[in-house]
Amino acid sequence: MRITVIEHEADAGLGYLGRWLELPCDVVRPYRGEPVPEAAADGFVVLGGEAAAWEDERWPWLPATRELLRRSVADATPTLAVCLGAQLLTLACGGTVERGGNGLEAGVSELTALPQAASDPLFAGIAARPGPVPAVQYHGDAMTRLPDGAVPLMTGAQYPNQAYRLGPAAWAVQFHPEATPDIFASWTAATGLESAGRLDEQVRAAAPALESAWRPLAEAFTATIRAAARQRAGDLRTSDRG
């Protein structure tokens, strides 16, 4: 079993997810000229980046990424779309992404699980935790209308649409469960935020709580990929006998 990963830029890699997913990851780097594949492997992860989800002229691989996301939802390929990835998934499946009306959301925010998270395969553990959950943020665009049929899972004060599930096995998260303190610091350094030092320290201080919160989600995603692969193998055996 393998996971196809779309990485949009060198400073926005797998981070924590590279340690937590427990399956080999085939990282596709279209910014280096590598083509977006026509199909994902057993699982699919789309990471973040500075692009806006609609900036196809500047980032010419975005249409192919949106199409692969749309196909993965239709095929029930276990999919985790992070920040820009979540926005691409939203556009691909009929939702709306716009410049955020509440400005840049950066640093550590507190998110709240919504009622339907309690029965979600990835977010049930998050929902069982008492109180709000810390998450790393770095985005100026927002998912303002979710695709039809989306199940909202988490919300926040600055931007309400923080996580949702679409179909049985595709998840979009506006925040960055993968972002280590060093990855986050590379983003603030690149953009020259006046508050960079404070935000960097905020993320570094929250690192143990962030790992505690989001490692179980990554492990649950791995379990979902394995279960889907077993199901497909069983279906193939049944088909062969038929």
Which residues, at least 6 apart from 183, have a Cβ–Cβ distance to it below 8 Å? 11, 12, 13, 15
d(C-alpha 228, C-alpha 77), whole Å: 8
Helix (H, G, I), strand (E, B) or coil at 209: helix
Domains of the chain: 3-241 (3.40.50.880)
- Pair 125, 169: CB distance under 8 Å: no
Closest residue by Cα to residue 215 from 178, 167, 181: 178
The per-residue pLDDT for 236 is 64
The per-residue pLDDT for 148 is 98
The first and second tokens of residue 130, run together, are 């008492």
The first and second tokens of residue 133, run together, are 């959950």
Mean pLDDT per 10-residue segment, the chain (242 residues): 97 97 97 97 97 97 98 98 98 98 97 98 95 97 98 98 98 98 96 90 98 97 95 70 58
Q: Residue 125: left (phi > 0), alpha (psi -120 to 50), or beta?
A: alpha
